[in-house]
Structure 1
């Protein structure tokens, strides 16, 4: 039985500005295991991070035309896609909190977005988030994440155990 739903939308440009203005926000919101290629980008410094993020609009246009990236551009594209991925993961975390019904005792690192061998996203819960899910008898969360038109969106359905 469905016991909760949540949806959240993240403006990619706003997310990028926040990450540029306060780079440590990425570490506050995401465990290292969630950051993937993003952690490599963080080590390169704010200047290269800003230049990679500024290319998001161009990459989106390129993706819309379905033209493959040039090999020299692929590294920057991977970093940009990582920011898009993190924005989607942030939307997923926000949507899960809404499906839980409360953000009490919720810490960002207690809910991690993980991917299976096929790239399908799901949650790994711990701490206060796992306790709240157990208290509400939630046995499974269904998660869908999408990116389009400058936004990342996530939809979560909480199902009873």
Structure 2
């Protein structure tokens, strides 16, 4: 059963400007392992985190670092929920995440399906 769907689009150049203007934002939004990625990858990961929040109906109090976007053994992106994000997902009955990331020019997109 689908519990929620989320989608987000990020303009890479605008996202880069935000990170340059507010350096602490990188630490607030991303885990230490994610922070080392290039700007296109960071933009896609931010879009994925936004899409996860939307799939969960964007409840207040979720910590951005409790949602990590990893790569599985096949090279596919995957959602790793911990802490506040895992708590909300569990309360809603989410057992499986589906994630698709895409880049085209200056745009990064993510689609998330939360399944239970």
Aligned counterpart, 1:5? 5
Specify the SS of the correspondent of 1:33: helix
Scaled by the length of structure 2, the TM-score of the pair is 0.95
Greater share of strand residues, 1 or 2? 2
Deviations 1:116-161 (A, max 9, x none): 122211111111110110110010110000000311000001101x
Per-residue CA distance 1:14-69 (angstroms, 9 max, x = gap): 00111111122111100001123x4xxxxxxxxxxxxxxxxxxxxxxxxxxxxxxx
Partner SS for 2:14: helix
CA distance in 2, matches of 1:28, 1:88: 16
Query: Could you say what the CA RMSD is over the residues aligned between the two structures, in angstroms?
Result: 1.0
TM-score (norm. length: structure 1)? 0.69
- How far apart are residue 103 of structure 1 and its match? 2.9
Residue equivalent to 2:57: 101
Q: Which has the larger radius of gyration?
A: 1
Q: Partner residue of 1:24?
A: 24
After TM superposition, the structure 1 = structure 2 runs for residues 51-62 of structure 1, keeping only pairs within 5 Å, are none
Runs of 4+ with >6 A deviation: none
Q: Secondary structure at the match of 1:101?
A: coil
Structure 2 unmatched runs, 5+: none
Task: Give the equivalent residue in structure 1 for 2:111.
Answer: 155
